Amino acid sequence: MIMSIILIIILIGWLGYTLIQNTRVKKVATYLSNDDFKHGMRKAQVIDLREQKSFKDGHILGARNVPFSTIRNFYGQIRSDLPVYLYDQGKTISKRAALYLSKKGYHEIYILKTGYQNWNGKEKKSNL
C-alpha cells in the first residue's frame, strides 16, 4: 500500500515536471516538421547537438556539430542574429539546448520535431 502511494507520488511529480518543461520550451522555441525544417534551414544555422561520433556517422547536410555537452563553452560560436535550427537524435537534448540558448539571448530557435532518427532529407556521412 505504501509503495503504491510512493509510486503514484513519483509519477505525479514526473508528469508535472514534464508538463512544466514542455511549456517553458514552447515559449522559447518552435517545433518544425521535416519539411518546414528543410525549407527554412538554408537561411539558418543548423546545429547538431549529438556527440562527435554520432555526427560523423551521419548528419543533416549543412549542419554544424556543437555537442550539447560543450554548449556552455561554445554557444558563442552560434550567431544570435540568425535563426538557430537545433536537432539531436530525438528532441530531448534540443529542448534543453533551446532553454539554455534562450537564457543567453537567442530568440529565433527552432527544433526538429521528430529528431534526426526520422529525418528524411539530405545527409552527409564522414568516411573516417
Minimal CA–CA distance to 112: which of 54, 43, 38, 53?
Answer: 38
With DSSP H G I counted as helix, E B as strand and the rest as coil, what are the percentages for the chain, rounded to 5? 55, 15, 30
pLDDT value, residue 87:
97
pLDDT (tens digit per residue) in 29-62 = 999 999 999 999 999 999 999 999 999 999 999 9
Cβ atoms of 37 and 117 closer than 8 Å = no
Query: What pTM, to 2 d.p., does this model score?
Result: 0.87
pLDDT (tens digit per residue) in 98-126 = 999 999 999 999 999 999 999 999 999 87
pLDDT value, residue 1:
87
What domains are there in the chain, each with its CATH number? 2-123 (3.40.250.10)
Residue with C-alpha cell 534540443? 94
pLDDT (tens digit per residue) in 55-105 = 999 999 999 999 999 999 999 999 999 999 999 999 899 999 999 999 999
